[in-house]
C-alpha cells in the first residue's frame, strides 16, 4: 500500500485532467462522483478524478476515494464496505441507443458520449445470457440474449421493453461492431451472476434525468424520432448497477468508456453509499430505507452471574469481539438464581435480588426496546430505600452509577492514568490536559515512585517519561512487567500474595477480600520518548511498553491514545475498570483526598516493597 | 541529521497554542506555566554552569540538558530545546566527537559551555517574545 499512497494525489478539475492525460498517457484516472441523493452537505457533487494503477480493482478504487476524501464528513460516515461504485442505469436506453444509431456523429460532441461508446462496446456486454435470467427478464428471451443487444440491458423487472419494435434496431446496432474484445471474452468466461449483473446493466453513467437536462437536444430528437415516448417505460427508473469489487478498473474503463482516457467528468462513475452493497439493483428509495439504523437485539447480551464467568469473559474479550456488545449484569456473589433474558425486567427467585431492583434493567424501558448505551450495565434504582438497604458493595456501585450514568462517559473518563514525569512543566501540561478531559490521574516524579503508584493499583494506563531520575522509565517499565509476572497479572492465576496486604487498608473493600485494587490486566505503558530515535523506541518497547509518543506530546494524539487504550482496558478487565471507578468516586468525594491519602499510600507501598 | 539544524522560529506556535488553549478551563494557566518554566530554565542553566565549573560530570550535564529540553519542547520553545538537546547529546558523547581521535571530557565540556550560552540567548529571545504575547513583562 505504501507505494500506492505515493500516487494518490489526484487532479480535481476537468481541465487539469485533460492536460494531464494528454501529456502523460501512463497516468490512469477515473472520474467518480457521489450519488446525488446521498450527498453530504459539505461536499460539492463535482466529479473527481481518482488516479489508479493498471492493476487496481474496484476495491482499490474505493480505498483511493477514501484517501482522497479522508477529511470529509462523507468519509467519516462511510467505509469501504458501505459504498458501492457503479453507474445508474436506466433500462430504456433504447432511446439513446436508437438515437445514436441514427446519428452517431452528433452524439460525439454531447455529454452522452458515454452512450455512444457503449453502442460500440455493447457487444462486450450481451454475451452473458445469465444476466437476463437473473434479473427477471422474460425467460424466453434469455436464449436470444446474445443477439439483441438490449436484451442484456433489460435489467429492470420490466421485460416488456424487449418486445418493443426497437429490438430489431438493437440487432442492427449489434452489427455495427461485431468483434468481441478480450474483455468480453473474459466476461463470457467469468459468468457469475454478479459480474453479469454489471454487464447487463453497466451502461452510461449518465443518469437519465441528467442526460435530459444536459442535452435537451438529444431528448427532443429521441422523442420525435424512433424512440418510444417515456410513458412507454413507466418502470424504467434509473437504478444502481454496482461494479464487482474485484473488477479491474482498467477493464471497467475500457468497457464503459472505450478506453482509459475517454471518460469525461460528466460520465463519472457514481459512488453509492449504502449499508448494502450487494450487486443488486436497488431502487433508490429502497436504499434510503436501508440506511435506517438496525436496532440492537437483546440476544446479543450475555448474562453473567458469577465472577469466574466474568473473568473468563474479560480474558477472552479481545478486540475482535468488541462489536458484539456484552452487557454485564452484576449480581451478588454466590447468586445462583436464573435470570430471564431478554425480558428487560429481571425476575429472580432470590429475595436479596428482589430488594435490589437495581439489578434490573430500567423498568421504564419498553419491553424489548432497544438497549441504549447507558442501559448497559447497572441502572440505579430511583428508590432511596433500596439504595440504602444495599450492601456496602452495592452502595459503592450505586454511587458510581448515579454519579456517572452514561457508560460511554465512563469509557473515556473513568480510567486511571499515572503520569510519570520528572519535569514539573510537562507534568503540569499533562495534568491540566487530563483534568480538562475529566480523566482521573496520579502523578509520579521518578521511576521508583511510578512503580509504587502502580503497586497501589487501579492504574490502567501509564504515561511514562523515559528519562527519569532515580529509576529510568525503561527500568520502571521492566520492573512493573516483572512484578506483573510475579503476581500472575494477566494470566489465569489471579490471586496475588500481595493483595492480602490491601485487605487491611481502610480503602479496600472488606466484602471482596480477594480483590485488591491491583489491576488484573497488565497495565498499558505508553512511553514518552524525547527523541525521535528508533533505538529509544525499540528500547521502550523491549522494556515492556505498549506504545510510545514522541515528545513534545501532541495533545490531540494523546487524547486518541487515551481513548484507544482506555477502551481496550475497560474491555480487557471490566472488574478492575469498575473498581477503578469506585476509586475515582471516593477520590472525588474528598477534595483533599489526593495529596494526603496518596502520600500515606506511598509509605504503605514502600513498606510492602521491602 | 535533521536534528542538528536549529529550528527557525523561537516558538513553535502550534505546540504553544495547545497549551494556551487550556486557559479556557483554568485562566492564566499558560501564563503561569511559562513563568514557572522561566524559573525552571534559569535554575537549570545555573545548575549546568555549576556542574561545568565544578565536577564537570558529563552524565550529569546530559541529564540536566535532557530535563530542560523536555519542558522547553513541551512549551514549543524549540530553539532552547534544540540547544538543550545538544547539551544532552554532548554529555552522552553522542555528538561532538572527532573522528579517529579519543577526545578528553573537557572537549565535550567546552562544547556544552558553548551551547549553554546559546541556550541562554534563546531563553532571552523566548522571554521577549512571550512577554509580547502576554503583553506583560515575564
The CATH number that domain B13-134 falls under is: 1.20.120.160
In this predicted structure, the answer to whether residue B36 has a pLDDT above a threshold of 80 is: yes
Residue with cell 448497477: A241
- pLDDT at position A261 is 72
**A551-568 average pLDDT score:** 82
B74 and A426 Cβ atoms separated by less than 8 Å: yes
For residue A57, what is the DSSP state? Answer: B
| B5 compared with A454, residue with greater pLDDT | A454
- A471, part of any domain: yes
Q: Which residues of A285-313 are buried (b: 16+ CB within 10 A; e: fewer)?
A: eebeeeeeeeebebeebebbbebeebbeb
Tens of pLDDT, residue by residue over A396-412, are 444 444 444 434 443 45
What pLDDT is recorded for position A581?
55
Please count the residue pairs, one from chain A and one from chain B, whose beta carbons lie less than 8 angstroms apart.
62
* In-domain check, residue A342: no
A552: chain B residues, CB-CB within 8 Å:
15, 73-76
Nearest-Cα distance to chain A for B30, in Å, is: 9
Is the CB of residue A551 less than 8 Å away from at least one CB of chain B?
A: yes
Q: Which residues of A touch B31 (CB under 8 A)?
A: none
Residue A190 buriedness (CB in 10 A; 0-12 / 13-18 / 19+) = middle
In this structure, is residue A73 part of a structural domain? yes
pLDDT tens-digit map of A298-314 = 445 555 556 666 666 65
Whole-model pTM above 0.80?
Answer: no
Pairing between β-strand A416-420 and β-strand A48-52 as defined by DSSP bridges: unpaired
Q: Is A294:A281 a contact under the CB 8 Å cutoff?
A: no
pLDDT bin (cut points 50, 70, 90) of residue B119 is very high
Band the pLDDT of A489: cuts 50, 70, 90: confident
Count up the domains in chain A and report the number. Answer: 2
**Could you tell me if residue A160 is inside a domain?**
no
- Strands A48-52 and A28-34 come out as antiparallel
Is the four-CA dihedral A174, A180, A181, A182 of positive or negative sign? positive
CB atoms near residue A15 (< 10 Å): 8
Of A423, A433, A469, the CB nearest to B70: A423
CATH classification of the domain holding A537: 3.40.50.2300
Cβ–Cβ gap B15/A422 under 8 Å: no
CB burial of A541-558 (b: ≥16 within 10 Å; e: otherwise) equals eebbbbbbebbbbebeeb
Is A565 part of any domain? yes
A438 vs B: CB within 8 A: no
pLDDT at residue A327, as a whole number: 53
Cα Rg of chain A (Å, integer): 33
State the Cα–Cα distance between residues B83 and B76, nearest whole angstrom. Answer: 13
Scanning every residue of chain A, which has its alpha carbon at the shortest distance from the alpha carbon of B25? A436
pLDDT at A83 over 60: yes
Flag whether residue B122 sits within 8 Å of chain A, measured between CB atoms.
no
What pLDDT, on a 0 to 100 scale, did the predictor assign at position A575? 63
Reference A269, options A29, A508, A458; nearest CA is: A29
* Range picked from A165-169, A219-223, B89-93 for highest mean pLDDT: B89-93
Sequence-ordered list of residues with C-beta below 8 angstroms from that of A117, at least 6 positions apart, any chain = A256, A257, A258, A262
A555 reaches B (C-beta below 8 A):
yes
Q: Which residue has the cell 514502600?
A: A606
Structure-block grid coordinates of residue A37: 441523493
A424 in a domain, yes or no?
yes
CA-to-CA distance for A97 and A264, rounded, in angstroms? 19
- For residue B85, list chain A residues with Cβ-Cβ distance below 8 A: 531
**Interface touch B63/A467, C-beta < 8 Å:** yes
Q: What is the mean pLDDT of chain A?
A: 57
Phi, psi (5° rounding) for residue B112? -65, -45
pLDDT tens track for A245-272: 777 877 777 777 777 777 777 777 777 7
Distance CA A292, CA A278 (A): 17
Please give the distance of CA B51 from its chain centroid, rounded to a whole number.
16
- Per-residue confidence (pLDDT) for residue A312, from 0 to 100: 65
Secondary structure of B29-44 in HEC code, one letter for each residue: HHHHHHHHHHHHHHHH
Give CA separation, A278 vs A288, A524, A529, in Å: 15, 41, 47
A577 confidence band (pLDDT: 50, 70, 90): low
Tell whether A14 lies on the interface with B, counting CB pairs under 8 A.
Answer: no
Cα A264 to Cα A103: distance, rounded to the nearest angstrom = 20
pLDDT at A110: 39
- Choosing among A552, A554, A558, which should be mutated to test the B contact, i.e. which has the most B CBs within 10 A? A552
Question: Which structural domain range is residue A568 located in?
Answer: 416-490+520-583
- Beta-carbon separation of A425 and B71 below 8 A: yes
In a domain, A481, yes or no: yes
Indicate which of B16, B61, B74 best probes the interface with A, i.e. most A CBs within 10 Å of its own CB: B74
Q: Hey, which residues 6-65 in chain B have their CB within 8 Å of chain A?
A: 15, 18-19, 22, 24-26, 29, 33, 36-37, 40, 63
User: Is residue A602 situated within a structural domain?
Assistant: no
Residues of A in contact with B29 (CB under 8 A): 432
Q: With bands split at pLDDT 50, 70 and 90, how would you rate the model's confidence at B77?
A: very high
Query: What value of ipTM does the predicted structure carry?
Result: 0.91
Residues B79-118 have pLDDT tens digits of 999 999 999 989 988 887 777 777 888 888 899 999 999 9
Greatest mean pLDDT range, A150-164, A304-318, A341-355, B116-130: B116-130
Q: How many residues does chain A have?
A: 610
On the question of pLDDT at A478 being above 70, the answer is: yes
Decide if A551 and B73 are in contact by the 8 Å CB cutoff: yes
pLDDT band at residue A215, thresholds of 50, 70 and 90? very low
Residue indicated by cell numbers 499515572: A418
- Tell me which of A585 and B113 has the higher pLDDT: B113
Say which of B33, B69, B73 has its CB closest to residue A428.
B33
Cross-chain residue pair A432–B75, CB shorter than 8 Å? no
Question: Rounded CA gap, B41 and B75, in Å?
Answer: 12
Q: Does B123 touch chain A (CB under 8 A)?
A: no
Q: A residues 418-437 near B, CB within 8 Å?
A: 421-426, 428-429, 432-433, 435-436
Amino acid at each position: 500500500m505504501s507505494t500506492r499512497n505515493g500516487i494518490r494525489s489526484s487532479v480535481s478539475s476537468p481541465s487539469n485532467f485533460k492536460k494531464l492525460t494528454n501529456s502523460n498517457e501512463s497516468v490512469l484516472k477515473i472520474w467518480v462522483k457521489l450519488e446525488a441523493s446521498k450527498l453530504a452537505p459539505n461536499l460539492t457533487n463535482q466529479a473527481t478524478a481518482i488516479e489508479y494503477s493498471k492493476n487496481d480493482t474496484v476495491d482499490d478504487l474505493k480505498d483511493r476515494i477514501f484517501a482522497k476524501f479522508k477529511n470529509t464528513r462523507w468519509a467519516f460516515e462511510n467505509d469501504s464496505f458501505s459504498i458501492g461504485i457503479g453507474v445508474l442505469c436506466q433500462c430504456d436506453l433504447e432511446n439513446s441507443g436508437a438515437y445514436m444509431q441514427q446519428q452517431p456523429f452528433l452524439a460525439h460532441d454531447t455529454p452522452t458520449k458515454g452512450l455512444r461508446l457503449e453502442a460500440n462496446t455493447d457487444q462486450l456486454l450481451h454475451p452473458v445470457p445469465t444476466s437476463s435470467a437473473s434479473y427477471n427478464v422474460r425467460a424466453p428471451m434469455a436464449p436470444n440474449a446474445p443477439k439483441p443487444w438490449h436484451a442484456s440491458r433489460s435489467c429492470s423487472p420490466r421485460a416488456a421493453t424487449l418486445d418493443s419494435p426497437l429490438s430489431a434496431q438493437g440487432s442492427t446496432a449489434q452489427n455495427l461492431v461485431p468483434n468481441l474484445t478480450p474483455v468480453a471474452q473474459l466476461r463470457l468466461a467469468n459468468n457469475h451472476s454478479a459480474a453479469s449483473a454489471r454487464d447487463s446493466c453497466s451502461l452510461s453513467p449518465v443518469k437519465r434525468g441528467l442526460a435530459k437536462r444536459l442535452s435537451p437536444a438529444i431528448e427532443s430528437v429521441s422523442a420525435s424520432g424512433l424512440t418510444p415516448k417515456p410513458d412507454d417505460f413507466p418502470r424504467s427508473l434509473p437504478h444502481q448497477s454496482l461494479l464487482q469489487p474485484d473488477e479491474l478498473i482498467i477493464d471497467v474503463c475500457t468497457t464503459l468508456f472505450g478506453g482509459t482516457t475517454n471518460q469525461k467528468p460528466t460520465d463519472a462513475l457514481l459512488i453509492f453509499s449504502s449499508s448494502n452493497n450487494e450487486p443488486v439493483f436497488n431502487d433508490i428509495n429502497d436504499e434510503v430505507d436501508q440506511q435506517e439504523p438496525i436496532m440492537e437485539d437483546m440476544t446479543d447480551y450475555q448474562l453473567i452471574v458469577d465472577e469466574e464467568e466474568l473473568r473468563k469473559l474479560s480474558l477472552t474479550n479481545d478486540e475482535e469481539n468488541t462489536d458484539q456488545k456484552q452487557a454485564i449484569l452484576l449480581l451478588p456473589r454466590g447468586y445462583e438464581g436464573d435470570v430471564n433474558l431478554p425480558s428487560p425486567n429481571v425476575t429472580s427467585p432470590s429475595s436479596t435480588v428482589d430488594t435490589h431492583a437495581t439489578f434490573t434493567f430500567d423498568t421504564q424501558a419498553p419491553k424489548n426496546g432497544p438497549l441504549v448505551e447507558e442501559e448497559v450495565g447497572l441502572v440505579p434504582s430511583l428508590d432511596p430505600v433500596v439504595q440504602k438497604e444495599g450492601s456496602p458493595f452495592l452502595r459503592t456501585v450505586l454511587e458510581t452509577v448515579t454519579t456517572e450514568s452514561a457508560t460511554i462517559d465512563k469509557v473515556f473518563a473513568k480510567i486511571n492514568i499515572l503520569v510519570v514525569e520528572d519535569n514539573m512543566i510537562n507534568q503540569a501540561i499533562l495534568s491540566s490536559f487530563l483534568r480538562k478531559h475529566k480523566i482521573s490521574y496520579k502523578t509520579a516524579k521518578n521511576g521508583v515512585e511510578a512503580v509504587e503508584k502502580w503497586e497501589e493499583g487501579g492504574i490502567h494506563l501509564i504515561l511514562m517519561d523515559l528519562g527519569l531520575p532515580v529509576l529510568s522509565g525503561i527500568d520502571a517499565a521492566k520492573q512493573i512487567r516483572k512484578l506483573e509476572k510475579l503476581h500472575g497479572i494477566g494470566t489465569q492465576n489471579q490471586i496475588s500474595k500481595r493483595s492480602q496486604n490491601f485487605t487491611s487498608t481502610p480503602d479496600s473493600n472488606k466484602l471482596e477480600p480477594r480483590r485488591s485494587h491491583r489491576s488484573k490486566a497488565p497495565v498499558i505503558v505508553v512511553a514518552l520518548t524525547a527523541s525521535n530515535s528508533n533505538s529509544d523506541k525499540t528500547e521502550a518497547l523491549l522494556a515492556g511498553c505498549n506504545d510510545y509518543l514522541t515528545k513534545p506530546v501532541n495533545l490531540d494524539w494523546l487524547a486518541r491514545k487515551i481513548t484507544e487504550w482506555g477502551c481496550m482496558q475497560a474491555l480487557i478487565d471490566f472488574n478492575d475498570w469498575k473498581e477503578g471507578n469506585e476509586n475515582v468516586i471516593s477520590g472525588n468525594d474528598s477534595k483533599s483526598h489526593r495529596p494526603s491519602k496518596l502520600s500515606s499510600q506511598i509509605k504503605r507501598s514502600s513498606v510492602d516493597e521491602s | 541529521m535533521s536534528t542538528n539544524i536549529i529550528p527557525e522560529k523561537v516558538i513553535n506556535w502550534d505546540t504553544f497554542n495547545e497549551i494556551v488553549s487550556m486557559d479556557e478551563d483554568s485562566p492564566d494557566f499558560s501564563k503561569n506555566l511559562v513563568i514557572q518554566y522561566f524559573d525552571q530554565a534559569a535554575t537549570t542553566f545555573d545548575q549546568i554552569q555549576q556542574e561545568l565549573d565544578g565536577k564537570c560530570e558529563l552524565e550529569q550535564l546530559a541529564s540536566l540538558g535532557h530535563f530542560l529540553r523536555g519542558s522547553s519542547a513541551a512549551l514549543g520553545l524549540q530553539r532552547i530545546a534544540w540547544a538543550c538537546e545538544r547539551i544532552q547529546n554532548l554529555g552522552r558523547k553522542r555528538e561532538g566527537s572527532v573522528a579517529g581521535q579519543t577526545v578528553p571530557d573537557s572537549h565535550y565540556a567546552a562544547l556544552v559551555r558553548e551551547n549553554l550560552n546559546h541556550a541562554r540567548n534563546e531563553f532571552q529571545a523566548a522571554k521577549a517574545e512571550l512577554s509580547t504575547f502576554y503583553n506583560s513583562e515575564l
